[in-house]
Amino acid sequence: MSVRRLPVAKPREVVPALSAADDADDLSVVRAGLFQVGDIAKAVGKTVRAIHHYEDVGLLRPHARSKGRYRLYDETALARVRWIGKMHDLGLSLSQIQEMVATWEAAPSAPGAMAHVKSVYRTKLAETRAQIGRLEALERELQASLAYLDTCQTCDPAELVPACTSCGHHDGESEPDLVAGVHAGAVSASKQQAI
């Protein structure tokens, strides 16, 4: 049974650094385009521990081992680790990523495998667009709140906080929710003090 792998983009070239302790075998490894786990981690901004964990859960496989028994990875490992990072950014857990890879590898045909990937990506695109919409609304609310609060600098510095709830500087302008929530807490506190 052949193993299908996700298609990956061509990664940037990474040249592993050699230390004085590296032997001729390790030099031939570099010439063969193979990398040690530290080189992979450094290239993609992950920890060595994370790379080993990806291997432990079956998301990454070393290409070979050096004479010193170090795990060696080829360039596809760089692309796979970058892909895992992007899947995390999209909100997928490692178990969901594992499931995605397992479904891909078990698919009876390439179109079937790609249909599953497209389905996941379509769902994540819709979620991302919804999140962008929520963040844009929050951005507008923050801007309106900051504009509303800019008038606070015109008040007398001796003014007490409870007076903010009956501020006359806004000419009937309604408070943004982010301001009203702060005032609501101040009103509740002043009522409790009165009791």
Contacts 24+ apart (CB under 8 A), 56-64: 57/94, 57/98, 58/98, 58/101, 59/84, 59/94, 59/97, 59/98, 59/101, 60/84, 63/34, 64/29, 64/34
Spatial contact of 37 and 51, defined as CB atoms under 8 Å apart: yes
**Domain boundary, last residue among 77, 92, 107:** 92
Asked if 135 and 87 sit in the same domain, the reply is no
Q: Which helix (DSSP H) or strand (DSSP E) does residue 73 occupy?
A: strand 71-73
Q: Is residue 161 part of a domain?
A: yes
Q: Is residue 64 part of a domain?
A: yes
pTM: predicted TM-score of the whole model, two decimal places: 0.65
Asked if 83 and 141 sit in the same domain, the reply is no
| Number of domains comprising the chain | 2
What's the mean per-residue pLDDT of the chain? 79
d(CA 84, CA 78): 10
Q: Which among 63, 65, 60 has a CA at the least distance from the CA of 26?
A: 65
**pLDDT above 50 (res 194):** yes
**Domain boundary, last residue among 92, 119, 143:** 92
* Region at 50 (left for phi over 0; alpha for psi -120 to 50; beta for the rest): alpha
Express each pLDDT in 57-92 by its tens digit. Answer: 999 988 888 888 888 999 999 999 999 999 999 999
Q: Is residue 80 part of a domain?
A: yes
**Domain boundary, last residue among 92, 119, 148:** 92
Asked if 64 and 135 sit in the same domain, the reply is no
Q: Is residue 104 part of a domain?
A: no
Asked if 88 and 163 sit in the same domain, the reply is no
Q: Is residue 52 part of a domain?
A: yes
pLDDT reported for residue 188? 52
**Beta-carbon neighbour count of residue 166 at 10 Å?**
8
Q: Is residue 122 part of a domain?
A: no
Q: Which among 14, 7, 4, 2 has a CA at the least distance from the CA of 75?
A: 14
Express each pLDDT in 115-150 by its tens digit. Answer: 999 999 999 999 999 999 999 999 999 999 998 888
| 36: three-class secondary structure by DSSP | strand
Take residue 6 and report the two structure tokens written for it.
């996700």
CATH code of residue 23: 1.10.1660.10
**pLDDT above 60 (res 152):** yes
d(CA 188, CA 182): 10
Q: Is residue 106 part of a domain?
A: no
**pLDDT above 90 (res 114):** yes
Express each pLDDT in 43-61 by its tens digit. Answer: 999 999 999 999 999 999 8
Mean pLDDT to the nearest integer, 162-166: 62
Asked if 74 and 12 sit in the same domain, the reply is yes
Q: Is residue 144 part of a domain?
A: yes
Where in the sequence is the domain holding 51, given as residue range(s)?
Answer: 1-92
